[in-house]
């Protein structure tokens, strides 16, 4: 496997690239430099759950008054209590003084009436990830909000154009994909719909920067940049477990590569039931010409939800978050492999890393060619700031250049021959590899 060690000069070059990439993400080539921003003096956040409360905190922290709106008094009370508890935790850790906490809390006003969003300069919808629900909220906001108000949807991957289409003001609609906890996480994916006005995008990106976030522009695509690649990373990890690796072996290979946590430990921390209903509903209509992995659904149905239930891909002692190997789940995985007709085999760390990381590189090339991401460095910035990609590797696209696209493409073509549909090489990757070029060449416009 390609070594993960770097010389001092290599580490310095990677660090310089990362700084450049983050700065470059703010530059939108087709926007004039003197583009006037829309005023954002008051924001309404719709949905007082964990995400909505975190967004409200991020705004209050920079002095922006926020109206936090929920459909029920109980939901609102719970959300406001969670916000106060988060601030109180910062006070107890010495990160914030009590006076600053009360000042920030005073900037957040609760409401159970959507009409209280009418005077906001920007509304950020943060309700459950359901298209019909989000469209209904946007129909109501369209009727209520003042002209020129920015209507942002905090979706992790739904079609922003489909949400904008139910309004009479699609130019004012934009995606604002915050990451949880929103008052802590540094990444903000700004999603440009087909009709989103340039000043709406520029205003949201500038607001993100004021909140201390790295704002990266994406086009509409399932999962945008971050979750589009993450889907591939996760899928290959699950396929590897079906084929013969055990969860701890996959996780050890990924932490050896530089991740702080392996994917199965992450699943257990987040909860294996996250997204269960959506994935279960999709099973009836998904294409049947490719392989799917449903092992996490079966674990959920067995009650193995992760840390919160004391067992998931690992087991957990009461009061502990340390993942421990569980013979019960390992036997279950072996049974599932047999049920699927897969003969289990030893899987080494090199294959684990290549299949998890190269699947992201291949998808990244597709996003570049489709214009979903402006630059390879934007993909790297998303992964370094929001997904825990090891900083020493500079991001998946930078890492691919470091290895060499010919070598990466050759492995992807081999995986395609062995594993089929999901590994079809991206045309851009094939072309760059054939021409002896890099993703950096593509970014500079030489390719």
What is the edge-to-edge ordering of all strands in the sheet holding 122-125?
108-111, 66-69, 43-46, 122-125, 150-153, 173-178, 187-192, 214-219
Per-residue pLDDT of the chain in tens (447 residues, 90 and over written 9): 444 456 788 899 999 999 999 999 999 998 988 899 999 999 999 999 999 999 999 999 999 999 999 999 999 999 999 999 999 999 999 999 999 999 999 999 999 999 999 999 999 999 999 999 999 999 999 999 999 999 999 999 999 999 999 999 999 999 999 999 999 999 999 999 999 999 999 999 999 999 999 999 999 999 999 999 999 999 999 999 999 999 999 999 999 999 999 999 999 999 999 888 888 888 989 999 999 999 999 999 999 999 999 999 999 999 999 999 999 999 999 999 999 999 999 999 999 999 999 999 999 999 999 999 999 999 999 999 999 999 999 999 999 999 999 999 999 999 999 999 999 999 999 999 999 999 999 987 676
Cα maximum dimension of the chain: 63
Structure tokens at 246: 């055990």
Is residue 256 reached through a cis peptide bond, with omega within 30 degrees of 0 on the bond before it?
A: no
- Cβ atoms 248, 342 nearer than 8 A: no
Q: How far apart are CA 399 and CA 358, in angstroms?
A: 10
Domains of the chain as residue ranges with CATH: 1-22+226-371+375-447 (1.10.1040.50), 43-219 (3.40.50.720)
- Model pTM? 0.94
């Amino acid at each position: 496997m390609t070594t993960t060690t770097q010389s001092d000069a290599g580490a310095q070059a990677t660090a310089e690239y990362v700084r450049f990439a983050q700065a470059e993400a703010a530059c939108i080539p087709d926007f004039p430099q003197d583009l006037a921003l829309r005023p954002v003096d008051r924001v309404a956040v719709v949905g007082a759950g964990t995400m909505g409360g975190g967004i409200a905190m991020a705004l209050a922290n920079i002095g922006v008054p926020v109206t936090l709106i929920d459909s029920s008094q109980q939901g609102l009370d719970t959300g406001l209590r969670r916000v106060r508890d988060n601030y109180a935790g910062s006070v107890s850790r010495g990160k914030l003084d009590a006076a600053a906490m009360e000042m920030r809390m005073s900037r957040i006003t609760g409401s159970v009436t959507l009409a209280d969003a009418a005077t906001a300069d920007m509304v950020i919808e943060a309700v459950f990830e359901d298209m019909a629900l989000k469209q209904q909220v946007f129909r109501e906001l369209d009727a209520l909000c003042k002209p020129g108000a920015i209507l942002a949807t905090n979706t992790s991957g739904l079609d922003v154009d489909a949400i904008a289409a139910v309004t009479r003001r699609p130019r004012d609609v934009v995606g604002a994909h915050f990451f949880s906890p929103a008052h802590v996480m540094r990444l903000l994916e700004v999603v440009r719909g087909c009709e989103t006005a340039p000043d709406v995008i520029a205003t949201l990106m500038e607001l993100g920067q004021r909140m201390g976030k790295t704002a990266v522009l994406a086009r509409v695509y399932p999962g945008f940049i971050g979750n589009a690649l993450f889907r591939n990373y996760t899928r290959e990890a699950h396929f590897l477990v079906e084929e013969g690796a055990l969860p701890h072996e996959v996780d050890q290979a990924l932490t050896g590569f530089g991740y702080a946590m392996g994917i199965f430990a992450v699943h257990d921390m987040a909860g294996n039931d996250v997204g269960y209903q959506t994935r279960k509903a999709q099973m009836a209509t998904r294409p049947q010409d490719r392989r799917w992995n449903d092992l996490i659904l079966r674990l959920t149905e067995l009650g193995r939800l992760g840390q919160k239930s004391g067992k998931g891909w690992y087991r957990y002692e009461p009061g502990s978050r340390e993942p421990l190997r569980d013979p019960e789940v390992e036997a279950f995985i072996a049974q599932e492999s047999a049920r699927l007709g897969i003969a289990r085999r030893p899987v080494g760390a090199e294959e684990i890393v290549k299949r998890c990381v190269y699947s992201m590189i291949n998808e990244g090339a597709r996003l570049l060619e489709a214009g979903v991401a402006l630059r390879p460095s934007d993909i790297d910035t998303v992964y370094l700031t929001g997904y825990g990609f090891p900083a020493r590797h500079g991001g998946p696209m930078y890492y691919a250049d470091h290895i060499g696209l010919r070598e990466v493409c050759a492995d992807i073509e081999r995986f395609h021959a062995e594993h089929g549909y999901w590994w079809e090489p991206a045309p851009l990757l094939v072309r760059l590899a054939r021409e002896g070029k890099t993703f950096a060449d593509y970014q500079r416009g030489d390719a």
